[in-house]
Structure 1
Amino acid sequence: MASGTLDFYYEFASPYSYLAACRIAALAELADVRVNWKPFLLGPIFAAQGYTSSPFNVYPLKGAHMWRDLDRLAAAQRLPPITKPATFPANGLLAARVAIHLNDACRPSFTRALFSAEFAQGRDISDRETIRQVLAGLGHFWDEVISDAESEVNKARLRAQTEEAQARGVFGAPTFFTADGELFWGNDRLEMALDHARSLARAA
């Protein structure tokens, strides 16, 4: 059993969350840290900050740099070239509902597969057919999973996790929290977050 823990808050519309999701499992295993995968929605948090869209859309120069930065990072991680979704940010509501419904063992593989469909293949993650095909490819009974994901109980779970993220101070994705409540924001802070989680476990 891993000696440290790390909460990983991610949003399916976030390309930096995609990069983090692709590498966090291997790095966490090396660090002896258990990861809690926590999908949430950035929309309500951005709205509370006064944004009506992603800051990368609000500030075009920042957005243009982001896509170039993502190209470099994807190449460094030996991932396929980044494909910008036709609509950015994508509507990840159904994706997040499905992810939070899946159990802890299945959530990471679904998350990585859907991120890949979105940012490597350019598929529309708001399309139920995309969700269906990803679930089917992983061996899930997709119709049952989607039905359960859209239940009122599961919708409430996602709302609660989004509210939890906001209450903890999340303002972007990906965000990581260690057991002492320390916040680390961004794909480029993943190693630092894991190091801190490991140091806490060793000091306990």
Structure 2
Amino acid sequence: MAVTKPVISFWFEFASTYSYLTAMRIEALAESRGVGLKWRPFLLGPIFAAQGWTTSPFNIYPAKGSYMWRDLERQAELLSLPLAQPDPFPQNGLKAARIAEYLRQGEWCAPFVRAVFHAEFGEGRDISDPELLAAVLIDIGAPAKDVMTAVETQSVKDRLREAVGEAQGLGIFGAPSFVTEDGELFWGNDRLEQALDWAVRHHGD
């Protein structure tokens, strides 16, 4: 009988600051614990809208926003990651999310996600720019023209919309979030290690 390993799903939003921190470290941590990883892009906008929010809660509550950016500076320093606040914030990550959804079961998903997050929060660039996204695809060796064409199809748009519905069904309300095989939900970059440990302890339950 083949031995399987535990798996967690990493739900991320390109507009999410803490998803940036997680995306840059999750692969190494998952590998060190023998945990498989599913990259799950989604959009927080519809989930926030259901709560009556029209923007990031970090914008709605200025004190919380100020704390978040300072905390992000500290965390980025600990991880030796560059940090630049994009303007505007939050960024429009719709097209980037569609690309990640299209790529998510292949070899280019992880490098694409990291490169987009780096451009956004490492360099402060506008990730809604199709030229930037195409350049990222070229840099990672993906067929940029084919991908940029594919993500405009209705099937890919529907897949991302379905992902948002799946996230809502799982009880996800923020990003980053992690869901283990037994349905346990963990929220926040600071819960990544706990999610991985849970996945290992409860694998096969």
What code does the residue aligned with 2:81 have?
A: L
Residue matched to 1:164: 166
- 1: distance between equivalents of 2:72 and 2:64? 12
TM-score in terms of structure 1 length: 0.96
Give % identity.
53
Is the Cα contact below 8 Å between 1:177 and 1:183 reproduced in 2? yes
CA distance in 2 between partners of 1:167 and 1:181 (Å):
11
The alignment yields a C-alpha RMSD, in angstroms, of 1.1
TM superposition shift of 1:153: 0.4
Q: 1:2 touches 1:34 (CA, 8 Å); kept in 2?
A: no
2:138 aligned with 1:133, yes or no?
no
Q: Which amino acid aligns with 1:93?
A: L
- Asked whether the equivalents of residues 108 and 140 of structure 2 are also in contact (C-alpha less than 8 Å), the reply is no
One-letter code aligned to 1:28: A
Greater than 3 Å deviation, 4+ residue runs: none
Q: Is residue 108–residue 142 contact of structure 2 (8 Å, CA) maintained in 1?
A: no
CA distance in 2, matches of 1:57, 1:120: 20
Q: Aligned residue for 1:64?
A: 66
**Which residue, 187, 193, 197 being the options, matches 1:191?**
193
Aligned residue among 111, 131, 135 for 1:109: 111
Alignment of 1:70-149 (within 5 A): 70-80=72-82, 82-102=83-103, 103-149=105-151
SS of residue matched to 2:202: helix
| CA shift for structure 1 position 124 | 0.3
CA contact (8 A) 2:186 2:195 kept: yes
Residue aligning to 2:19: 17
| Alignment partners' CA distance in 2, 1:41 and 1:88 | 15
Q: Secondary structure at the match of 1:7?
A: strand
Q: How many pairs are equivalent?
A: 202
Under a length normalisation based on structure 2, what TM-score does the superposition of the two structures give? Answer: 0.96
Name the CA distance, whole Å, in 2 between partners of 1:2 and 1:46: 36
Q: Does the residue aligned with 1:176 lie in a helix, a strand or coil?
A: strand
Structure 2 residue ranges without an equivalent (≥5): none
C-alpha change, 1:2 and 1:105, in structure 2 (3 Å) is: farther
1:192: Cα distance to partner?
0.2
Residue 32 (1) aligns with residue 34 (2): yes
**How far is 1:15 from its partner?**
1.0
